[in-house]
Chains A and B, each alone.
Chain A
Amino acid sequence: MNSLSLPRLLRHDLTISWRRLCAFLRAKTNARGLVIVGAVVAALHVVAWPFATSLTQWAESDGRVYLMALGMVIVLPWLFSQGLTGATRALYSRGDLDLLFSSPLSPRKILTSRALAVAIESFGAVGLFLLPIADDAALQGGAVWLAVAPALAATVLLTTGLALAATLGLFALLGPKRTRSVGQVFATLVGAWFVICAQIFNFLPADWRDALRVQMDHPAPGGLFDPATPWWLPARAAAGQLAPLALWTLLGVAVFVASVALLGHAFTRGALSAAGEAQVSDGGREKDKKFRCDRAGALRRKEWRLLARDPYLVSQVLLQSLYTLPIALVIWKALGVGSVAVSVSPALVAVAAQLAAALAFLAASSEEAGDFVATAPVSPHELLRRKLEAVAAPVALFLALPLAALVWADAFVGVVTIAFALAAAASTAALNFWKPLQNRRGDLIKTHAQNKLVGLVEHGLSLAWAIAALLACLDRWEAVAPVGAALALLWLNAPRKARAAPQFA
């Protein structure tokens, strides 16, 4: 009997990916999922229209190749980050991998199927935003814009192949236990590069930008800005030049095929040792400590220990801190020299809000023994109070130094920032305690399965408090508007009637 063919195996993997997407979209049937995806794609085409208009005009004046080069600087790290996340998940998610490895399928076939599924998922995630722009641009500026799609597909194959090799390299270097944490942090850093790149040109001083423009208009032959050099191959491919597109596609396919051909056995070994790590390892070892039993301390210590041992949290904090950098830079650029303290203020408020939200989400939603804790002779209010204290302490610790520096630099701005950071942290933490999502901690970390609506409200609160802080720092009375918006959001999400605190059960 022949074992499962690659297309059927791939179909199986894609079915699982599709079901995951449907669950994310809360679509109970495939038809409903298709309708939602179709509606989103249509809406994105509408939203992308004016953006495509600007791009086609820019491309006419400055050349499509430069535009695509800028796009590639952003897209390449984004796709590589997607590939890293996908490859790590493929290695560590047990699911049906045990079944596949115990079957007579060759490791190469399993890896090929998994890698193709990762590549298709990455293409979907990035293409969802890029392809509507390219489609609209094609309607306005000609079919040559449609070359973005095959160029993107080739880029996805290339980055997936490289991400797979990087993940297995990390695995060989660091071992199964550390690779997942390091991989998550690494993917976060690479992903953050995308956000910073998106703004990098705007941050440059005007004379630098002029100098760059001269270089681009009159590139030195063989220099960095000469589109004839190999560095420009992906940009020329995306710009619709046929020979570079063919070459770029060939390169993407070659890297992908070489990765799966060479790494099949390494993937099997990696996945098996990842499984072994999950099932057999002794986890982390801790030192003997003095036994301490005060009730409040026991509740707080438990939360701190669990937070400190959470690898997802590290990448989350890093990501959120990095994402605020462009915000601070944009504000600083808009306000001019001498406004550093004011520029940093909303960024710190946003970090406080996001960090408190992340910690509260983990503390509230991933109470692994909620039922057990509910049987303890402790009131729900005390449980909530101790969890809030446990969340507040690391936020304060993380922000203490930058806030102190801010007070030292500008006392008024510093005090205003502290006040708004407190309000922001308290509001996003409260939101997560009011709307817990019961799950196993491990599952939450794997799937980042926060309630999407809560996530949206959380970002709304962060933004409102950050804008309010900025306006308050500038001594503008309009600060009351975002404060009002934040309070309204909180009121809308508060428990409807006075009742006992959440049970965490």
Chain B
Amino acid sequence: MTDLPDALRLRNLHKSFGKKAVDGLDLTIRPGEFYALLGANGAGKTTTLRMVAGLLQPDAGEIFVDGVDARKNPIAAKQRIAWLPDEPLLYDKLTPLEYLEFVAGLWGMTAERAGPRAEELLRRLNLWEQRNQRCEGFSRGMRQKTVLAGALIHEPRLLMLDEPLTGLDAGAARQVKDMLVEQTRAGVAVILTTHILEVAEKIADRIGIIADGRLIAEGDLNHLRSLSAAQTASLEEVFLDLTAPREPGVNGAAA
């Protein structure tokens, strides 16, 4: 594992929309690691993920995906990434199978590899029966699962998920969480943003807390507790404590 390049390495990343959205962010995620990126609304989580996915140009800084400089070689970097936005982006008039065929084509997979993989994913996500049904009548959960299948079909090295559990029922949420954990076991790095802190608490290897575009704390839950006043608290309490407005100089601990 140690010989492998970092799945994601961000150095001094900056992005401003008039106001600073990401402000000198440094972040490293190792292969097979499950990383939860937490932050209040507008903290800079989605902007960070969009820059890594190639949807936003950073103002400054470095982005390396699986050892590839994403700013110099975006196509090679994109080949290794899957990005799942909070709003499932699907074609209403395509079926799940047609959607997966399209995604597999975009990532240049062979039909011999993509066909069986699509079947496996759709079966795992309980969508096989609906494989030839147009997505226009799908519920939010079904759409989310279809998009997840699209993200996994090309076997990415880095999987970035923005609020992936929104709109899923308990069963589907469990299914998705299990699949994500499986991915990390297979060496895929997963970075997830979520407001459901329980998910981060239970399955993340490391948790990063971002505020005003800066990483203010990072580590496993025990480490985060040690940074907080409440030593035995839940992640929710730790998060609220670390992100609460403070007098200058009181906070600022980062692992």
Contact between chains at B102 and A291 (CB < 8 Å) = no
Is A293 in contact with B133, judged by CB distance below 8 angstroms?
no
A369 vs B135: C-alpha distance in the bound complex, in angstroms?
13
On whether the beta carbons of A294 and B94 are closer than 8 Å, the reply is no
The reply to whether A297 and B105 form a contact with Cβ atoms under 8 Å apart is yes
Task: Known A376-B107, A505-B55; judge A305-B94 contact (CB<8 A).
Answer: yes
Which of A369-391 touch B at CB < 8 Å? 369-379
**Chain A residues closer than 8 Å to B150, beta-carbon distance:** 372
Is A302 part of the binding interface, using a Cβ–Cβ cutoff of 8 Å? Answer: yes
In-complex Cβ contact of A371 among B89, B103, B115 (8 A): B89
User: What's the Cα separation between A298 and B103 when bound, in Å?
Assistant: 8
CB distance from A314 to the nearest CB of B (A): 14
Across chains A and B, the number of contacting residue pairs, with CB separation under 8 Å, is 128
Q: Which residue of B lies closest to A310 (CB)?
A: B93
CB distance from B61 to the nearest CB of A (A): 19
Q: Are A372 and B76 in contact, CB atoms less than 8 angstroms apart?
A: no
Partner of A306, one of B78, B79, B93, B147: B93
Across the interface, do B106 and A283 meet the contact criterion of CB distance under 8 Å?
no
| Interchain residue pairs with CB less than 8 A apart (7) | A290-B111, A302-B91, A368-B89, A369-B90, A374-B53, A375-B53, A377-B79
Contact of B94 among A279, A306, A377, A378 (CB under 8 A): A306
Query: How far does the alpha carbon of A370 sit from the alpha carbon of B135 in the complex, in Å?
Result: 17
A293 and B95 contact, CB distance less than 8 A = no
Which of chain A's residues 288-327 have a Cβ closer than 8 Å to chain B?
A: 288-295, 297-299, 301-302, 305-306, 309-310
Interface assignment of B233: CB less than 8 Å from any CB of chain A = no
Closest beta carbon of chain B to A152's beta carbon, Å: 39
- Chain B interface bracket (under 10, 10 to 19, 20 to 34, 35 or more): 35 or more
What residues of A have a CB within 8 angstroms of the CB of B103 in the complex?
376
A299 touches B137 (CB 8 A): no
Q: Are A305 and B93 in contact (CB under 8 A)?
A: yes
Q: Does A442 contact B (CB under 8 A)?
A: yes
- Tell me, rounded to whole Å, the shortest Cβ–Cβ distance linking B70 to chain A: 11
Interface 0/1 of B81-103, CB less than 8 Å to A: 11101000111111101100111
Instruction: Return the contact of A441 from the options B92, B132, B147 (Cβ within 8 A).
Output: B92
Q: Is the CB of A283 within 8 A of B107?
A: no
Cα of A378 to Cα of B106 in the assembled complex, Å: 7
CA distance A275 to B82 in the complex (A): 34
Known contacts A279-B137, A282-B137; is-contact A302 B54 (Cβ 8 Å): no
Q: Residues of B contacting A2 with CB < 8 Å?
A: none
Proximity bits, B21-43, A CB within 8 Å = 1, else 0: 00000000000000000000000
Of listed B53, B109, B136, residue having the most chain A CB within 10 A: B136
A348–B53 alpha-carbon span in the complex (Å): 44
Q: Are A288 and B75 in contact, CB atoms less than 8 angstroms apart?
A: no
- Contacts of B133 on A, CB cut-off 8 Å? 282-286
Bound CA–CA A278/B138 (angstroms)? 10
- 10 closest residue pairs by CB, A with B: A298-B105, A283-B134, A291-B115, A369-B89, A376-B106, A283-B136, A309-B93, A377-B78, A377-B79, A372-B89
Asked whether B105 lies within 8 Å of A283 as measured between CB atoms, the reply is no
A280 within 8 A of B: yes
Q: How far is the CA of A282 from the CA of B89 in the complex (A)?
A: 18
In angstroms, Cα B92 to Cα A121, docked, is 31
Write out the residue numbers on chain A whose beta carbons fall within 8 Å of the beta carbon of B97: 286, 288-289, 291
Q: Report the minimum CB–CB distance from B55 to chain A (whole Å).
A: 6
Q: Are B101 and A293 in contact (CB under 8 A)?
A: yes
Bound CA span A374–B78, Å: 9
B132 touches A283 (CB 8 A): no
Interface residue? A287 (CB, 8 A): yes
Say yes or no: is B2 at the interface (Cβ < 8 Å to chain A): no
CB-based contact B106/A298 at 8 Å: yes
Quick one: which of A282, A288, A295, A306 contacts B106, CB cutoff 8 A?
A295
- A447: interface (CB < 8 Å): no
B188 at the interface (CB under 8 A from A): no
B76 engages A377 (CB within 8 Å): yes
> Which residues of chain B have C-beta atoms less than 8 A from A291's C-beta?
97, 101, 104, 111, 114-115, 118
Question: Closest approach, in angstroms, between the C-beta of B146 and any C-beta of chain A?
Answer: 11
Evaluate whether A442 and B92 lie within 8 angstroms (CB atoms) in the complex, with A297-B105, A377-B79, A505-B55 already known: yes
| Binary flags per residue of B158-198, CB closer than 8 Å to A gives 1, else 0 | 00000000000000000000000000000000000000000
The complex places the Cα of A376 from the Cα of B132 at a distance, in Å, of 24
A281 within 8 A of partner (CB): yes
**Closest chain A residue, CB of each to CB of B160:** A375
Q: Which residues of B contact A286 (CB under 8 A)?
A: 95, 97-98, 132-134
Q: What residues of A have a CB within 8 angstroms of the CB of B106 in the complex?
A: 295, 298-299, 373, 376-378
Q: Within residues 350 to 384 of chain A, which ones have a CB less than 8 A from any CB in chain B?
A: 368-379
